[in-house]
Amino acid sequence: MAGNSIGEIFRLITFGESHSLAVGGIVDGCPAGLKIDFDLINNQLIRRKTNLFSWSSERDEPDNVVFVSGINKEGVTLGTPIAFYVLNENANSYDYEKYKYIYRPSHADYTYEKKYGIRDYRGGGRAAARETLARVVGGSIASMLLKKETISLKAFTCQVGPYKYTSNFFLSDLSILDQNPLACPDLELADRMINYLQKIKREKDSVGAVVACLVKGIQPGLGEPVFDKLQADLAKAMMSIPAAKGFEYGLGFKASSMKGSEHNDYFVIREKTENGEIKIGTLTNNSGGIQGGISNGEDILFKVAFKPIPSIGITQNTVDNKGRSQKIELQGRFDHCVVPRVLPVVEAMAAIVIADHLLRFKAYDNFYKINT
């Protein structure tokens, strides 16, 4: 199976399935001398945990990370590959025996079997959200690199089903995010979302959501102008998250209905120092912090749309691997919506992409300094 890694310089490789012995990963390309904040990693994993909300899966895993290389006893990176794993201690494979030969609607059962000639029917294998645990660990390490450059990331819920946040994200009071479990910038809207999620669970159904992510403190110059545009790599990272269905940055699809005179971001002088250096910014940020595939120094804003979780307790029509019609009513432990568990996953994938491009930029910068 190809495609288990992301990044060029800062690279994460993940392994493991939902019901295997463990899931884990290897972070390669992390610079030496970085002090690892283990509390940050644990806190991010807690945000991703199941069984915290009534609409989340009841699978209760301790999610204790074991690091086996790349970090010394003082908790400092050595510049060598950082390998880690987390045991799957609460997998219940018996729940899936009845679906061994049945293709669950909108799951990866049929496509995996057609591609590989075999599939892990226990929870979905590599396609299951359990794999994202390794992304959160790797992304947490990436965020520590970014913190040294005063770059921060914050993901939040801006839509659940029909309930949508419509205010200006750049002007939103993000301190509100920690005051509700969905990390929604509007407390009243968050309450309506939560009530709706509880209703969805009672109906044994699921619902989609949209997550926004704001990146602050980023410098100009990150990204490449052609195939490795910053927004292209962010889009690939986000669309690799289970259940992701759409990606947009800046004004996104809304820009297609605008005139150039409406959408263009005018450049302005932000600051002029005594020695003549100037800091340039834009009057508006319709571009979402990226122009020509390269960061322009403004905040980066993007959104990710997620489909409803396909595991639902309502009777559905399907077929088995012999082509026989079947009715299926899924029983087991599953989420009814991706939020809020997906929020640290979005942050992690964004951190990996930006850390990778930051290291690429520094490589260019050092080369030019040496050769000029």
Residue environment code for 199-209, b if the CB has 16+ CB neighbours within 10 A, otherwise e: ebbeeeebbbb
In a domain, 42, yes or no: yes
The percent of residues in the chain predicted with pLDDT above 90, rounded, is: 81
In a domain, 281, yes or no: no
Residue environment code for 139-157, b if the CB has 16+ CB neighbours within 10 A, otherwise e: bbbbbbbbbeeebbbbbbb
Identify the pLDDT of residue 367: 61
Q: What is the average per-residue pLDDT within 144-170?
A: 95
In a domain, 262, yes or no: no
Mean pLDDT of the chain: 93
Nearest 10 degrees: Cα torsion 300, 133, 136, 6: -70
In a domain, 256, yes or no: no
Q: Would you say residue 236 has pLDDT above 70?
A: yes
In a domain, 311, yes or no: yes
Q: What CATH number has the domain bearing residue 78?
A: 3.60.150.10
Q: What is the average per-residue pLDDT within 316-321?
A: 96
Q: How many residues in total does the chain contain?
A: 372
In a domain, 264, yes or no: no
Identify the pLDDT of residue 70: 98
Residue environment code for 3-13, b if the CB has 16+ CB neighbours within 10 A, otherwise e: eeebbebbbbb
Q: Which structural domain range is residue 31 located in? A: 5-250+287-370
Identify the pLDDT of residue 57: 81
State pLDDT tens for residues 117-136. Answer: 998 888 788 998 999 999 99
State pLDDT tens for residues 249-294. Answer: 999 999 999 999 999 999 999 988 888 889 999 999 999 999 999 9
In a domain, 137, yes or no: yes
DSSP string covering 120-139:
-TTTTGGGSGGGHHHHHHHH
Query: Would you place residue 332 in the very low, low, confident or very high pLDDT band (cuts 50, 70, 90)?
Result: confident
The model's pTM: 0.95
Question: Among 10-24, 86-100, 191-205, 258-272, whose mean pLDDT is lowest?
Answer: 86-100
How far apart (Å, rounded) are the C-alpha atoms in residues 85 and 70? Answer: 13
Identify the pLDDT of residue 31: 97
Q: Would you say residue 181 has pLDDT above 90?
A: yes
| Helix (H) and strand (E) counts in the chain | 7, 16
**Closest by alpha carbon to 88, among 22, 14, 15?**
22
Q: Would you say residue 9 has pLDDT above 90?
A: yes
In a domain, 259, yes or no: no
Number of structural domains found in the chain: 1
Structure tokens at 195: 């009530």
Q: Would you say residue 372 has pLDDT above 60?
A: no
